[in-house]
Structure 1
Amino acid sequence: MRLFVAVTLGPALEATVTDALRDLSRHAPRARWVPPANLHLTLSFLGDVDAPRAAEVERVLRPVGAAHAPLELSVQGGGGFGAPERPRVLWAGVGGDTAALGALQADVAAALGPLGFEPEHREYVAHLTLARARSPGGDRELAACVQALQAARWGTARVERVVLFESQGGRYHPRADFPLGTP
């Protein structure tokens, strides 16, 4: 099973982002837009994991959630990854208590390390992926979306749990969740 660890933004903010995606997608109809049910902030991608190892992942994540208080995040602005004139990925920015989110991500990575999951070697930067170009060379239409994102302010959300997701055929299913601040 393919697993990753993430936090979600709650139904109200997800609905606001979904409405905005509907408007943005008109500017870049050929891009692959993230389905609303898949909106999340990834903390760690684990890849293919067998059932016994997945149980170990759940075991080590439980105390990580308990050690962190709930936090407030906002979704605002954004940009593109790749060449400015042909971005490959469109993303929204994350504000609010990003220091606490970074600490949570670091603790998730530290807990998973002894199980053999290698942490990313670059600094964690929270972002909400909105769309991907179908072409590896990027999508000129996504550049117009980047401009539209500059003034976007979509609201705030209270993050109250870490979620272990299983990815099946492009759909994400919660496998376990770990409330923040709950021993």
Structure 2
Amino acid sequence: MRLFTAVTLGTDLEARATDAMRALRVRAPRARFVQPEGLHLTLLFLGEVPESSLDALREALEPVGVMHAPFTLSVGGGGFFGPPAHPRVLWADVRGDVAALKALQADVAQGLEPLGFKSEHAEYTAHLTLARARESRGDPALADCARSLVGSDWGHAHVDRFILFESRTGQYLPRLEVPLTA
């Protein structure tokens, strides 16, 4: 199973993001845009994991939920990763209680570390991935898309859980939902 942990943003915010991506596709027709069901904020990517590890993952992740209270995020604006002439990833900015999101991500990573999972990045950067360049040298149209996102506001999301997802041929299947109950 190819697994990752993430928080979702609710149907209203996801619908606004989907509408915005429709308009952005016109500006960057060669880019590979995220499917609506793929809109989430990844906390930690686990990679390929045997199904026999699910019980150990549950035991590691469930205690994290009781350490965190629900929080609110908002999404709007955006930018890109990569050089300005060759951006590789287009993203929307995550705002609101980002400190709570970062704390949740850190505790998820810490809880999974004894099982051999490590965070890919030294510091977690909250962002909502919208599109990726199809070519390794990037796509200049993504910079234009980022400029068009300035001043955008897609609303708020109430985060009251995180989810262990399985990624299977473009589908994201929840394997475990952990409520935030502190």
Do Structure 1 and Structure 2 share a fold, with TM-score over 0.5?
Answer: yes
**Matches of 2:66 and 2:39, distance apart in 1:** 23
Matched residue type, 1:35: Q
Matched residue type, 2:51: A
> Which residue number in structure 2 is paired with residue 69 of structure 1?
69
Per the alignment, in what secondary structure is the counterpart of residue 73 of structure 1?
Answer: strand
Gaps of 5+ in 2: none
**Matches of 1:35 and 1:14, distance apart in 2:** 10
**Matches of 1:120 and 1:15, distance apart in 2:** 29
> Which residue number in structure 1 is paired with residue 26 of structure 2?
26
> Which residue number in structure 2 is paired with residue 150 of structure 1?
150
> Which residue number in structure 2 is paired with residue 48 of structure 1?
48
Task: Report the Cα offset of residue 100 of structure 1.
Answer: 0.6
Matched residue type, 1:129: T
**Matches of 1:38 and 1:120, distance apart in 2:** 20
**Matches of 1:165 and 1:5, distance apart in 2:** 6
Per the alignment, in what secondary structure is the counterpart of residue 15 of structure 1?
Answer: helix
Q: Residues 117-152 of structure 1: CA distance to partner in whole angstroms, max 9, x if unpaired?
A: 123342101100000000000011111101101221
After superposing on structure 2, the runs of 4+ consecutive aligned residues of structure 1 that deviate more than 2 Å are none
Matched residue type, 1:93: D
Matched residue type, 1:124: Y
> Which residue number in structure 2 is paired with residue 114 of structure 1?
114
Matched residue type, 2:163: V
Q: 1:121 and 1:19, CA in 2 relative to 1: closer, same or farther beyond 3 A?
A: closer
Per the alignment, in what secondary structure is the counterpart of residue 153 of structure 1?
Answer: coil
Task: Report the Cα offset of residue 169 of structure 1.
Answer: 1.1
**Matches of 2:83 and 2:24, distance apart in 1:** 19
> Which residue number in structure 2 is paired with residue 100 of structure 1?
100
Matched residue type, 2:116: G
What is the root-mean-square deviation of aligned Cα atoms in Å? 1.0
Q: Residues 52-91 of structure 1: CA distance to partner in whole angstroms, max 9, x if unpaired?
A: 2122112211110122100100001110111112211000
Gaps of 5+ in 1: none
> Which residue number in structure 2 is paired with residue 180 of structure 1?
180
**Matches of 1:119 and 1:153, distance apart in 2:** 29
**Matches of 1:68 and 1:50, distance apart in 2:** 28
Matched residue type, 1:10: G
**Matches of 1:5 and 1:77, distance apart in 2:** 24
Native 8 Å contact 2:90 2:130 kept in 1: yes
